[in-house]
Structure 1
């Protein structure tokens, strides 16, 4: 059972080094922000005659490509990511409820550890590892992500830089989500992206205040929806900067190896005058896009943040979730 120790957040303020992704498309105004949704594509290296787009994306990921994929934090520097003007509560606190799986029970891996497991937090089948191809540099990358309850039961949340390269970049290709990835084991299979959605402030300006994305995946080969198979987290917006959270992620840079789900628990804080939330987890590259969960019950919780940046002092940060995050969610929740 590989886990990081529980941490308690301090209010230290440190200059951040970010984590990112890609380019243009047709925008639609959503609440106080605008976002763009595009059909996910596969690279020419993934193209296979007679296969669906979902199969092409999935088949691209050989065990070797998955093993050698690079942590996506290196893309942030290339995007020239910047802090925006800052976000703050823009209305009353609102939430979307989580959903239990209906096809098969979510796995509680901690219960398989044996002996005293009181010191462990159960891994969640709603959380997984993301693999994608960046057409700008022709390299393969990894992030983290989490399934979110929605009308379609096909929605995933991750960082903006895990779907698009930001200013001057392009949309990522061959995008797949592997729930509860475990050193090559894929107990819930691979879920290929059908649509990618990112804020235009990220796409056009690499604005870290909008480093959030939504991904609609295809049903699996049996026609089942993702959330019905693994469960789905809820979503919270306009909550205070101070929240007890559990972060579940796949950090891949040392001292981690990206093979298994890690957790960090603590109380978030507002880092200085920034309108973000932060926690001193020390999570490294590969944890980009991981879900920050309120009220985690060892199966699912409420997404209250998405891993965006890290720095050498071990401070991880998320965009603050305001009304616009919920507005974009509402715009894609029923998309199939």
Structure 2
């Protein structure tokens, strides 16, 4: 994996005057705790071709122009995950001989039709597992979150690795969407994480084709991490992979990083130990952005804390699929 050259940013102390960390183009710089811990899923019923046929290049472009992905407008954060034990699963290189895998191939744009029938976009990352079929993203990239909201159309949910008006790795179709009950039932952003089991493409599983990041949980705050995503709102246009980096801080239980990426970056990975090996460890996802005075002036993002209650138990549920 190519190590990227980065510029660290400093945030101002007052919220109204906060200076965002500037996202860098990676191509240039290289209802209880027990209930919350359950996972729920939505399975695909259509053929593998249907989603890819729906998401034409024109529709992808229109989804980018539609603005931010389904950022939730309210949430119940009255319960937070228990820290639990720390654990990790290593990443994997692709097994397809011709694959030129790196951070770009393991990151991608997500396109979907939400529960209101709108074409939208998010970001995501492949994650290694026994089944070699996982993409991790934000919960609000698969379900609206809470009462009155529903699952997004799993038959129109796709992941496009190394997206840039198309991809050398093609479009991959979802098989099952999984998220935490704390998100789907209560809109609690402490559980705003999702795992999507992908259908094989031409008989090949996605991690075997593009590689997969590792994943870890229970490692706390104060860690130097990179966050990646495909911001689509101005001043970005969704066409490239960007990143910010810094040391995570604890704000009311949520890991927080300064960054100016806009809507569409949701679901992109927070990576620990990035650059040490071919892959890194997903230790969070872009979940919640803060802006002033409007959504084009974002200055920080938060992730759900990756505990066993959130990422660990979700991973264990789907790792063999």
Same structural fold, with TM-score higher than 0.5 when normalized by the shorter chain: yes
- What is the CA–CA distance in structure 1 between the aligned matches of 2:320 and 2:133, rounded to whole Å? 9
Q: Are the counterparts in 2 of residues 88 and 275 from structure 1 also a CA contact under 8 Å? A: no
Question: Aligned to 1:37, which of 29, 41, 44?
Answer: 41
* 1:228 aligned residue: 208
The verdict on how the C-alpha distance between 1:10 and 1:40 changes in structure 2, with shifts beyond 3 A counting, is: farther
* 2:55 aligned residue: 61
- Report the Cα offset of residue 134 of structure 1: 1.5
* 2:180 aligned residue: 199
- What is the CA–CA distance in structure 2 between the aligned matches of 1:211 and 1:289, rounded to whole Å? 9
* 2:218 aligned residue: 238
Q: Secondary structure at the match of 2:178?
A: strand
- What is the CA–CA distance in structure 2 between the aligned matches of 1:318 and 1:12, rounded to whole Å? 20
The verdict on how the C-alpha distance between 1:13 and 1:96 changes in structure 2, with shifts beyond 3 A counting, is: farther
* 1:215 aligned residue: 196
Question: TM-score scaled to structure 2, two decimals?
Answer: 0.83
Unaligned runs of 5+ in 1: 16-28, 42-51, 109-121
The verdict on how the C-alpha distance between 1:14 and 1:89 changes in structure 2, with shifts beyond 3 A counting, is: farther
* 2:30 aligned residue: none
* 1:7 counterpart = 2:8: yes
Q: Are the counterparts in 2 of residues 30 and 328 from structure 1 also a CA contact under 8 Å? A: no
- Report the Cα offset of residue 12 of structure 1: 5.2
Q: How many residues align?
A: 289
Question: Aligned to 1:329, which of 310, 315, 318?
Answer: 315
Q: Are the counterparts in 2 of residues 39 and 194 from structure 1 also a CA contact under 8 Å? A: yes
1:131-142 matches, cutoff 5 A: 131-136=111-116, 138-142=117-121
Question: TM-score scaled to structure 1, two decimals?
Answer: 0.80
Note the alpha carbon deviations across 1:274-313, whole angstroms, 9 max, x for none: 1110100111100000000011128421000011010115
Q: Secondary structure at the match of 1:166?
A: coil
1:211-290 matches, cutoff 5 A: 211-220=192-201, 222-271=202-251, 274-290=252-268
The verdict on how the C-alpha distance between 1:148 and 1:57 changes in structure 2, with shifts beyond 3 A counting, is: same
